[in-house]
Structure 1
């Protein structure tokens, strides 16, 4: 009996060691993914615009990829019954990497022929949809695997992980914008895109190799764990997770009415160069890097729903503030930068809290046997919301009309703001907290937020080795 107990204890210690190793590997893998994100995914819309895409096609680029990508996740749980979670992840990641090659070839053809083929945009839409599709197949399996790896303080871990990933994407985006500006001045912007997409391909391969070293705890799927997407839809308004999923899907719809067109507005309407566009875009990444770990600690202490309520109430103000850029002199890009940079910085603060608390709410609300299934259905509904929202925005923007001499894209931003507020007011109080949290009074969260921000900023000025805990920080 003693030997059995000792053997069980050794196995548990070995498993904890492997989990800790995988937590560190996951951060390294996330860094590689962030290079693909910063050099590739973030520049798909500028790439399409360089090939001559119109507003409707930009809307389709976002909406179709989201719909097909998110609906593909419905099949992932069934794949996990036949294949290991890690194999499902590796399959999706490998083919996602390979899909960057056709995008590189389209740019090469453009350089050789010195003209855009009419079908090029639709090939770009199809290929980008496949990039999202293969990434989406891997997502439920990855979430399920990480739930088994991160067994406590998930908000704190993902907050820290996302900060590292955000810093990486931010640096890559800045360098990418400088590269594109350099080649644009030489009338060879497609060479810049070829370099960026080649980096996206290479670093996704690196990500694939790191993922292959992840530890995978055994997953025991209980009989009766599965329920169909149809059953989920039928019961969604009756249970807490279903209401939460509907809330997120509706927020995605309201957001996607405008989200594909911020890049169009900056690059086409305001005629900003890639560097100014990147500075405005990364301002949200900077605030995300700073505030996401803080939101993680707050959600661990006060609950995910409280963070969703606070940030959800602020989300409608983002497109509302964008609308008022119409009153700024667009002939001076630096003035627009001074206004839009803080607007996007504010956007990063609220979306950091909203996205993190949404993720950790799922982890708390769903059992590990059903996590992949519920994530798949959650993302499928979100995909429908994104598809319909972006499609609606694209159709409205294609009308090319003006009200009060204000461009239709700005009215789309205002419509998105109104829809976000309606969804929030109608849905947020229907959701219940699932995590046991500390009792708090009104104002406690604000006090805690200020304290965490002060402490976090203080920590950020210390050397990196202190941040990673290699040496203790002495304060006197």
Structure 2
């Protein structure tokens, strides 16, 4: 009897392993479908808003309000997960997101077809886009909890590979979108946006379908697993994870002062066309695609905090390099900003991957959704403050020391990022045992790294890789 039970148990474990491997593969396909939606949809929301007559204040709200309300909604996700499966919750929210792209098109019709004036339509767009982002944010804690049960080891390697593939899909989607918009800019730009957002709708619908095909391991919540947001906040000074969430939230705040307005600066101040704008934007995505797996391997060996400490200093230079653009000749601007954004993509790839994986290492599976929700709420508050401040300042018409208001917020953001990195990164400790990597180790590694070896790493990252 005991032997047959053991055999049945082993068969069940083998079946679950097969389901998990299949789900890992499906997750990459689903992420790719979502990336099509992001590449054709979310990446073009700022140009769309500008065509509707949005001001810099509207652009700030397009970032700040969805982030604040979306992340606030996550407070309710963990409790809902006790009553319904994570899978049902995620699929429902993804489906609503898909439908919202049709409403984004409807907002455009109000302006381009029915002639509703430009003071009202940007406000409508902010509302509709906020709802779209809100549902995406609401599913995040459930998705993270679900994926923690699927990816139980080598998370840096798996997510580095996944992010590389879905990032490539997003990059191709963005590039294709720029050609579509550039073509219709000469005839009827609204038709171009209709094509883009229709593709975003279809891709997110496919993503929702693929999510419904994934396997969800059963989760049992331990008694006493729940703690309130205010308990979490009170414990921050004593908790390593709490200090980590403050670090990330502050990075989000100071980054949001500038990040929503790079597109505005290119399209309005520099007069870039859609193709020039997307070439600069894609440089960031391509660099992220190339360096994400390298950061993943580095984090697996030397720890996520080491990556965060390095990259949090480097990201401070990104907006400062944008300020330098005023000294660059006009015919060299696109090339210069491509280099700046390639640098940005490289360093942000490390920060984003490591900060995401740090949570996987630091949090138990029962508390994953809670910790993601509370961490994201702090991030949302940070983005709201930063983007609102940036929108307010950049809407003013003035010059200080030869800098326009939009360049001034780039300068403020760069200095503030550096201050956050200096003050906050020493306060957070690595949560697992890793190899030491200091200045001595870095010098030794760099001295042995040849250009051929670096190219081999990048070449491997560009090669298609089978999964599942």
Deviation at 1:323, TM superposition (A): 0.5
CA distance, structure 2, for counterparts of residue 391 and residue 114 of structure 1 = 28
- Cα deviation, 1:177-211, whole Å, max 9, x if unaligned, reads 1111111111x111100110011011100001000
What residue is the counterpart of 2:236 in the other structure? 236
Helix, strand or coil at the partner of 1:237: helix
Match of 2:129 in 1: 128
Q: Does 1:341 align with 2:338?
A: yes
Asked if 1:408 is matched to 2:405, the reply is yes
Query: Offset of 1:117 from its aligned partner?
Result: 4.6
Q: Are residue 307 (structure 1) and residue 277 (structure 2) matched?
A: no
Change (3 A) 1:441 1:105: closer
Correspondence for 1:468? 466
Trace 1:7-406 onto structure 2 (pairs within 5 A): 7-114=8-115, 116-186=117-187, 188-330=188-330, 332=331, 335-406=332-403
Check the 8 A contact 1:59/1:391 in 2, yes or no: yes
> For residues 420 and 436 of structure 2, what CA distance do their matches in structure 1 show?
28
* Residues 123-151 of structure 1: per-residue CA shift (max 9 Å, x gap): 10000000110001111000000000001
1:437 match: secondary structure: coil
5+ residue gaps, structure 1? 471-476
TM-score (norm 2): 0.96
Contact 1:107/1:191 (<8 A) preserved: no
More off after superposition, 204-213 vs 400-409: 400-409
Whether the aligned pair in 2 keeps the contact of 1:166 and 1:285 (CA below 8 Å) is: yes
Length, aligned pairs only: 463
* Contact 1:245 1:378 (C-alpha < 8 Å) held by counterparts: yes
Write the distance in 2 (CA, Å) between the matches of 1:117 and 1:394: 18
Is the Cα–Cα contact under 8 Å of residues 111 and 121 in structure 2 kept in the other structure? no
Q: Secondary structure at the match of 2:365?
A: coil
CA contact (8 A) 1:257 1:391 kept: yes
Secondary structure of 1:63's aligned partner:
helix
Question: In 2, distance between residues paired with 1:29 and 1:376?
Answer: 22
The CA distance in 2 between the partners of 1:279 and 1:298, in whole Å, is 29
Distance 1:453 1:105, change over 3 A: same
Looking at structure 1, the residues matched to 214 and 61 of structure 2 have their Cα atoms a distance apart, in angstroms, of: 36
CA distance in 2, matches of 1:83, 1:22: 20
The one-character-per-residue Cα deviations of 1:239-289 (angstroms, maximum 9, x if unpaired) are 000000000001111000111110110000001000000000010100011
**Alignment partners' CA distance in 2, 1:328 and 1:406:** 14
Cα-to-partner distance string for 1:144-181 (whole Å, 9 max, x where unaligned) = 00000001110000001001111111111111111111
What is the deviation of 1:118? 2.6
CA contact (8 A) 1:298 1:445 kept: no
Partner in structure 1 of residue 460 of structure 2: 459
* 1:317/1:110 CA distance change after superposition, 3 Å: same
- Whether the 8 Å CA contact 2:291–2:458 is kept in 1: the answer is no
Distance 1:226 1:354 in 2: 29
3-state SS of 1:260 partner: helix
Aligned to 2:417: 420
**CA drift at 1:400:** 1.3
Q: Do 2:145 and 2:368's aligned partners in 1 also have CA atoms closer than 8 Å?
A: yes
Question: Unaligned stretches of 5+ in structure 2?
Answer: none
Give the Å deviation of 1:403.
1.1
The aligned counterpart of 1:474 is none
TM-align CA RMSD: 1.6
Partner Cα distance (1:31, 1:95) in 2 = 18
Post-superposition CA distance 1:41-82 (Å, at most 9, x none): 001011000111011111111100110011111111011010
Preserved contact between residue 67 and residue 383 of structure 2 (Cα < 8 Å):
yes
**Cα separation, 2, equivalents of 1:11 and 1:43:** 46
